[in-house]
Structure 1
Amino acid sequence: MSLTKHSILITGAGGGLGGTAALALAKRGAQIILLDKSIPKLEKIYDAIIATNAPTPAIYPFDLAGATEVQYHELANTIEEKYGHLDGLLHSATELDAFTPMSIHGTMAWGHTLNVNLNAVFLLTQVLLPLLQKAEHASIVVTSDSFVREARAYAGAYGVSKIAVESYAKILAEELSDAGKIRVNILIPGPVNSPLRNKAFPAEVKNKLPEMVEIIPAYLYLFSPQSIGTTGQIVDARTFKL
């Protein structure tokens, strides 16, 4: 399943799932654009990719919550200058403050969570669509969460953002389906032993959870030519098999 000469941007690339996806896709030959607000985390995954003799990735420090629209366009211009087009976009960055009752939910935490989990997905996708349309075929993957796919008490801004971003992805998939060049799908990683899961459920017994590498087949499928023609779908990594 070669991804040679495929350029793929991954948000939250310094995190658990984003880093796992970046390393797996790079090993298949993809040129990865690592985007995260933490430079030390970016450097760590950069070094891990280099150690595998995969194509040298690009590092792009970027604060999804605080970036201006101008900065989003600057990012798109930088990618166009270096790669000319974009074959894939993985929205993996996720913000989870805490599970909180709506009655006492902090307004700053609310706004920050929606900025990262929803508004940034919209803004980044919009500025990168022209580059994705230049590819022969391109894949956009939005990451959701099995825990909050339906309304749950105390899910707060995190739950609202994940429900909303799924709807956004389905709407976008419908809008792009006629052209047949860009597919948009939703990935449900399921409960895995990730930093986000550890934060959300600190008392959980983690050694009973699947490891992050177990969802790699879903990433490979969604960004490979095998998924061409599949759009507007929900891919559950817990049940997915190549």
Structure 2
Amino acid sequence: MRFDNQVAVITGAGSGLGRAYALALAERGAKVVLIDNDISGLESSHKAVLALGEQSMVFKLDVSNIEGVKDAVTQIIELWGHIDILINNAGIHSTCDFDNLTIENWQLQLNTDLNGSFYMTKAIWPHMKGRGYGKIVMSSAVSGLYGDMHETSYSASKMGLIGLVNSLYLEGMDYNISVNSLTPHAVTSMTAHKLAPSVKPLFSKTSITASMLFLCCADSPTGQHLLTAAGSVSHGQFAEFKPSYFPAGSCKPETILSSWQQIHQAQPANLHRSGEEQVLVWARRGAGEHHITIE
């Protein structure tokens, strides 16, 4: 799998997974654009890319700076003419109990992880549409998918990216633009303190960079969510458990309370491709009682 003559933009490329993504793409022939707020990390990643014999652009940039993002994209297009791949990897992380979570910290988290990804995607999107090709990867986190103690702002920002993928990929299909999410977990400066020494060797970046490259290749799927860590790769999707139907007039809060054990995780689970599909299913469930025919 090669990426010759393709231009890849990677945010948070100064260290950790962002650096690994940049090097993996450069090793396979891509020109890489390195974006980070840490100049020393950027310089190190830049030298590593050049050592592989590939071209690189560097931007010391906070992705929450929308004007800076627009300017960077303009410079990339002026130099290389196109952008084929965008990996929204930049993020910050700090744990805080909800009582002590300030509005400023909440906004900082969302501005970096969620808004920063939106700003980059928004700036690059028209260029991908114009060429009829593009690969976009959003970097989520297990705390976003499942939640964790003292992770409310982090979880909210990362889960927001899942919603962004779920709708944006539909708009990209007519323009050959794939939009997916990757939920990785590897030993980095952000995660090292959460892993026991005995299991740290398991959490290498190998399966993660392989999954990233897969999502960036010409034959990648779209609208999908991959989870990868410790050598495993899996596909995730929101599931709705088997519904319990209550006739009109009988669905009261007391009824739901008494039926909760029946409702909770009732099998089988159902998967829906879109919000519209879920609404249609709801409509069909209730239509029979009211003698309504749905085509």
TM-score by length of 2: 0.74
Distance 1:151 1:32 in 2: 33
Give the one of 62, 75, 91 matched to 1:94: 91
- Residue 59 of structure 1 pairs with residue 52 of structure 2: no
CA displacement, residues 42-93 of structure 1 (integer Å, 9 cap, x when unaligned): 110111112222x12111110123x2x3322212211110121110000111
1:148 maps to amino acid: G
Residues 142 and 183 in structure 2, CA contact (< 8 A), matched pair in contact too = yes
**CA displacement at 1:107 relative to structure 2:** 2.3
Tell me how far 1:181 sits from its aligned partner.
1.3
Q: Is the 8 A contact 1:172 1:184 kept in 2?
A: yes
Q: Secondary structure at the match of 2:148?
A: coil
Q: Please give the alpha-carbon distance, in whole angstroms, between the structure 1 residues aligned to 2:217 and 2:76.
A: 20
Are 1:194 and 1:211, in contact at CA under 8 Å, matched by a contact in 2? no
**Residues 207 and 71 (structure 1), Cα distance of their counterparts in 2 relative to 1, 3 Å cut:** closer
- CA positional deviation for 1:149: 0.7
CA, structure 1 residues 167+124, in 2 after alignment: closer, same or farther (shift >3 Å)? same
C-alpha separation between the residues in 1 aligned to 2:202 and 2:109?
26
Is 1:192 the counterpart of 2:186 in the alignment? yes
Alignment partner, residue 173 of structure 1? 169
Contact 2:63–2:119 (CA<8 Å) still a contact in 1? no
- Which residue is 1:125 aligned to? 121
Q: CA RMSD in A?
A: 1.8
Where 1:139 maps in the other structure, the secondary structure is: strand
**1: distance between equivalents of 2:35 and 2:198?**
31
Q: How far off its partner does 1:203 sit?
A: 5.9
Greater C-alpha Rg = 2
Letter in 2 for 1:233: Q
| Mapped contact 1:150–1:163 kept (Cα < 8 A) | no
Instruction: Give distance in 2, aligned partners of 1:148 and 1:122.
Output: 17
Q: How far apart are the structure 2 equivalents of 1:8 and 1:133? A: 16
The 3 A distance-change label for structure 1 pair 235 and 59 is same
Q: Which residue of 2 aligns with 1:233?
A: 224
**Alpha-carbon contact 2:207-2:233 (below 8 Å) kept:** no
Q: Distance in 1 between matches of 2:99 and 2:136?
A: 35
SS of residue paired to 1:3: coil
Q: Which amino acid aligns with 2:106?
A: W
Match of 1:111 among 107, 110, 121: 107
The match for 1:210 is 203
Are residue 83 (structure 1) and residue 77 (structure 2) matched? no
> What's the offset of the Cα at 1:208?
4.1
User: Which residue identity does 1:217 align to in structure 2?
Assistant: A
Structure 1 runs of 4+ aligned residues shifted over 4 Å read: 202-206
Structure 1 contact 118–162 (Cα < 8 Å) conserved:
yes
Name the residue aligned to 1:9. 9
- SS of 2:219's equivalent in the other structure is helix
Q: Which residue of 2 aligns with 1:219?
A: 212
Q: TM-score, normalised by structure 1?
A: 0.89
- AA in 1 matched with 2:186: V
Counterpart of 2:157? 161
Q: Quick check: 1:166–1:186 contact (8 Å CA) kept in 2?
A: yes
Kept in 2, the 8 Å contact 1:86–1:134? The answer is: no
Asked if 1 retains the 8 angstrom alpha-carbon contact of 2:61 and 2:69, the reply is no
Equivalent residues, number: 232
CA contact (8 A) 1:20 1:213 kept: no
Tell me which residue corresponds to 1:74. Answer: 71
Kindly indicate whether residue 147 of structure 2 is the aligned counterpart of residue 151 of structure 1. Answer: yes
Q: Which structure 2 segments of 5+ residues have no match?
A: 235-295
Deviates more, 1:106-115 or 1:1-10: 106-115
Query: Per the alignment, in what secondary structure is the counterpart of residue 125 of structure 2?
Result: helix
Q: CA deviation at 1:204?
A: 5.7
Structure 1 position 202, deviation (Å): 6.6
State the Cα distance separating 1:37 from its structure 2 match.
0.8
Structure with higher RCO (Cα < 8 A, 6+ apart): 1
What residue identity is the alignment partner of 2:168? L
